Structure 1
Amino acid sequence: MSTRVRKVANAPVSFGVFELSDAPPPLGADEMVGALSAAGYEGIDLGPAGYLGTSADLVERLDGLLLAGGWADLRYNDAEAFREGLTTLEATLDVFAAAPPAPEHLAPRPTLGCSGSPDRFARPGGSVPGLPSSEWPGYAARVQEAVGRCRERGFEPAFHPHLGTYVETPDDVERLLELTDVELCLDTGHLLLGGGDPVTKLREWAGRVGHVHIKDGDTKILAEALDDGVDLRELMGRGGFASLGEGELDLPGVVAALDEIGYEGWVIVEQDTLPGRRSVAQNIADQAANRQRLRELGL
């Protein structure tokens, strides 16, 4: 078993509770926190604004869990929209500041995401061209500005490459790393379906990996979704992100690579799904099973 200081968290998106859904949450925050605690998780991501609370109610609701991080997406490709979105980032940081205290390496990480590319959202997986070279400097400068905002508030952010966005493929990630000093939130599932090898990239990008989302992916379901002409949202609904061990992720290899690079901090299990596609009981059982699979690998 590794002696590295790591803790394992989960996230509301594993239950179909996330920022891009207009549907009512399929379960309450207290029920989710209770289920994750019972399964042995030590932390949770923030989820949509207000879902877990915002100040004293957040601390009470977490009931011993730590806040691991939280999503903050901005339109880095659009200067005006980026400016308008900074107030949302600041509001997220306000919630982080109200979270229970944690050691520095376990402080909540603002997870910076890109609001998305409509063309890539429609056909996820790296087949659609990304940003033109001429737009990368402005995009990266705005990412760096968001990073600075987080640091001014005492939080070290991590940028999350994600299907359906302008930072989707390994080449996109390389460009971002060249133009900024932001750390990565390496999401194994999005990287796998975006055309990368998570084990190889964990080693290659070791010096920039500051946060880890462990997620499995199924390229066969991705291929079927592309053949059917459905978008990223429907890919999630079809199970493109599988339970750990049921997709193509080399989970033992990922855990071994985390040991090899000396990673310390949060490991957040996610299994992106849509509300209503699976029962609450099934989602709870899946996340308990995911925790057990990691436990069997020494994590």
Structure 2
Amino acid sequence: MIRLANAPVSYGVFGLSRPDLVPLPDGEQLAAWVAEAGYEGIDLGPIGLLGDADSIAANLGAHRLGLAGGWVDLPFGAGDDAAFEASLEGLDAALAIFRAAAEADPERAPKPTIADSGSAERNARPGGGADLELSDAAWRRFADRVGVVAARVRAAGLEPTFHHHACTYVETPHEIERFLADTDVDLTFDTGHLLIGGGDPVADFGRWRSRINHVHLKDADRSVLARAAGSADPLHEVWEQRMFVRLGDGDLAVDRIVDEIVASGFDGWLVVEQDVILQDAADVDRARQDQIDNRERLRRWFA
């Protein structure tokens, strides 16, 4: 069964947020908006946003929402062993919340969504490139670290999923193939980030279907990526210039990919995402309406 969720990032709440420009919604407000828009679940967002291990189930239950997953990035590709070890404390804090949500609602258990933290050189080149890939030795370290994290997630009684993502060391189709070949962790298939990394969501979903255990449905306008090339801060440029758009407004073949996902028998959370950086009060209203529109766009498949 496919369950639809949304995420705090669609309402401007994530690492690139600009709370200096406009106040951000809190967890209670976000949960209410996501439920009102017609979604069944929500992603975790920043640790503590939706509550802690003692309160997460009640907070989401008040809105009849399940916890779909949530982003936890770790320095798999960059940083020394000490930095990696230190990052595990943040993972454990997230796992406590995921575990509590799973115990309260086992039929809608979340997928801890692990990802690479990237680096300055990857931030400077959204979209990636062969010259940015890790060396063989660095890649072996990357895969070993993923194994450490996967074991930690599974020891908590949960199954991890790995998010390929712009400006990280698993961004392009080649890097995704390398990841799938060298680890036993399945994939969060993100249609928008795959477009940025040069992939074909429809064809690549079919190729990787057996290793996909989580889906982020996201549309992207790749012209924004092209315009940001060579800017002083392309990472912020592409997000601030709205690279991610409403379903159907960008380069994603929405009907084709959703048809493919449904026909494949995929069973799990499908998280609709549209990363936005709120820059004024009007952006808050626009973000809310976009997620209502995105839900309506999917009525053909998910009444």
TM-score computed with the length of structure 1 as normaliser: 0.93
Runs of 4+ more than 4 Å apart: none
Alignment partner, residue 26 of structure 2 = 28
8 Å CA contact 2:16, 2:277 repeated in 1: no
Question: Which range moves more in the overlay, 73-82 or 145-154?
Answer: 73-82
Match of 1:99 among 101, 114, 125: 101
Match of 1:121 among 120, 123, 144: 123
Cα distance between partner residues in 1 of 2:180 and 2:38 = 34
Match of 1:17 among 7, 13, 18: 13
Aligned: 1:221 with 2:217: no
Please tell me the residue identity of whatever aligns with 1:15. Y
Secondary structure at the aligned position of 2:101 is classed as coil
Alignment partner, residue 284 of structure 2 = 280
Cα distance between partner residues in 2 of 1:113 and 1:161 = 7
Aligned pairs for 1:1-299 within 5 A = 5-21=1-17, 23=19, 26-62=24-60, 63=62, 64-77=64-77, 78=79, 79-99=81-101, 101-104=104-107, 106-127=108-129, 129-276=132-279, 279-298=283-302
Cα distance between partner residues in 2 of 1:289 and 1:8 = 14
Please tell me the residue identity of whatever aligns with 1:89. L
Cα distance between partner residues in 1 of 2:132 and 2:96 = 36
Deviation at 1:38, TM superposition (A): 1.1
Q: What's the C-alpha RMSD, in Å, of the aligned pairs? A: 1.7
Structure 1 spans left out of the alignment, 5+ residues: none
**Superposed CA offset, 1:82-116 (max 9, x none):** 11101110110001122263345x31010001111
8 Å CA contact 1:168, 1:191 repeated in 2: yes
8 Å CA contact 1:150, 1:156 repeated in 2: yes
Cα distance between partner residues in 2 of 1:103 and 1:162 = 28
Please tell me the residue identity of whatever aligns with 2:97. V
8 Å CA contact 1:26, 1:276 repeated in 2: no
Question: Which range moves more in the overlay, 11-20 or 159-168?
Answer: 11-20
Cα distance between partner residues in 2 of 1:137 and 1:55 = 34
Question: What is the aligned length?
Answer: 294
Deviation at 1:229, TM superposition (A): 4.4
Cα distance between partner residues in 2 of 1:178 and 1:113 = 17
**Superposed CA offset, 1:37-81 (max 9, x none):** 111100000000111110343223212100010111100123221
8 Å CA contact 1:221, 1:239 repeated in 2: yes
Deviation at 1:144, TM superposition (A): 1.2
8 Å CA contact 1:43, 1:67 repeated in 2: yes
Cα distance between partner residues in 2 of 1:298 and 1:37 = 15
Secondary structure at the aligned position of 1:123 is classed as coil
TM-score computed with the length of structure 2 as normaliser: 0.92
